[in-house]
Homo-oligomer: A and B are copies of this chain.
Amino acid sequence: MWPDTRVIDLFGIGIPILQSPMAGSSGHEMAAAVSEAGGLGSLPCASRSMEQIRMDIGAVRSRTSKPFNLNFFCHEFNAYDETTEQTWLDNFAPYCDELGVSPELAASGSNLAPFGEEHCQLVEKLSPAVVSFHFGLPAADLVARVKSTGCVVISTANTVEEAVWLAERGCDAIIAQGTEAGGHRGMFLSQTVTEQAGTMALVPQIVDAVQVPVIAAGGIADGRGIAAAFALGASGVQIGTAYLRTGQSLANEMYRARLAAGTDEATVLTNVFSGRAARGFATRLTQDLGPIADTPMAFPMGYGVLAPFKASAEAAGSVEFSSFLAGQAVGLGREGDAGDLTRQLADEAQVQFARLSGR
């Protein structure tokens, strides 16, 4: 039924579709729905406390006995310095009056925590089927402990060099994230988005460079994209944006309105939201300060600066300061149930496989 079953076998799932962990936009309901349908649901843990993660896992397990993925960030804070912060804050000064934001409210900050000892203990205790990391990998001893728990470990590469680096450090599969992808770039060795490849070019080159199975991400939102990913040599796909309009999405109404109207030209890669490059809807803010600022706020502290402006603008009905993340295939998205969508995507892929062979 699937031309390559390496990801299906590795994760113990029926449909080789991973739901992207989307911090703030997806939670336990989406993860449970996708996993129960046969895909691999994901719980984004970077913005959640230990207690919240435990509750999320419990909620998923109450709805399905099937495998799911816990996603963690492994960023570092080493790029932070006061001069950069002040320069960045100054950029927002002109908006204070307009949006009624007190300057003292615009302050760096974030609730995004990197994977550490506490997370590792939680993983050891609750042993999810899969643990995915973003922005590289945590320290080698932490990776070893996660793997010895029996978890499958995966991470994201934006370049062939990153894929080889991850495979050498024990990743059981590699997510090859093309530039089409919504959300944060996983980049950790590559320095600039301008040199990173689209999915069509990236996937086969990573497939050729590593022995582990490759999961294609970026620009995939229907059965055509899934079939294309398998044609390129991928053993599975990761899909995010296409799930953002489902009933299980946490996207608010303003976000959903942008998704529903999204075109191929609607998004940009920008670092003005968080401090790191992410693909999201172009706004007045990405236009004014970016889309790629030369001296952005250190990730993830940019979110703290943005928060009061986003809140004030959205309260006034404007999305021009909203960090609504989405990929370039947003125009192919649809409403419905996340579990139904997972099954539909699988069925559509089968139709394409049959069509390509002339059956």
Contact = CB atoms under 8 A, between A and B. Distances in A.
B201 A180 contact: yes
A19 interface: no
Interface stretch (A74-82, A167-175, A192-200): A192-200
Interface string A213-232: 00000111110110111111
Contact of A204 (B159, B291, B329): B329
A231 B220 contact: no
Nearest to A200: B219
Given A264-B160, A268-B195, A200 B225 contact: yes
Given A3-B358, A195-B265, A268-B194, A201 B219 contact: yes
A218 B200 contact: yes
A235 interface: no
Contacts of A323: none
A219 B219 CA distance: 14
A261 interface: no
Contacts of A204: 222, 224-225, 329, 332
A201 B265 CA distance: 10
Interface in A288-332: 291, 327-329, 331-332
Given A3-B358, A190-B265, A197-B264, 11 more contacts: A3-B356, A159-B264, A198-B200, A201-B218, A201-B219, A205-B331, A224-B233, A227-B231, A228-B231, A230-B356, A231-B352
24 contacts: A3-B356, A160-B263, A160-B264, A194-B269, A198-B199, A199-B200, A200-B200, A200-B219, A200-B229, A201-B219, A201-B264, A201-B328, A202-B264, A202-B328, A204-B224, A204-B225, A205-B329, A208-B332, A224-B232, A228-B228, A228-B229, A228-B232, A353-B356, A353-B357
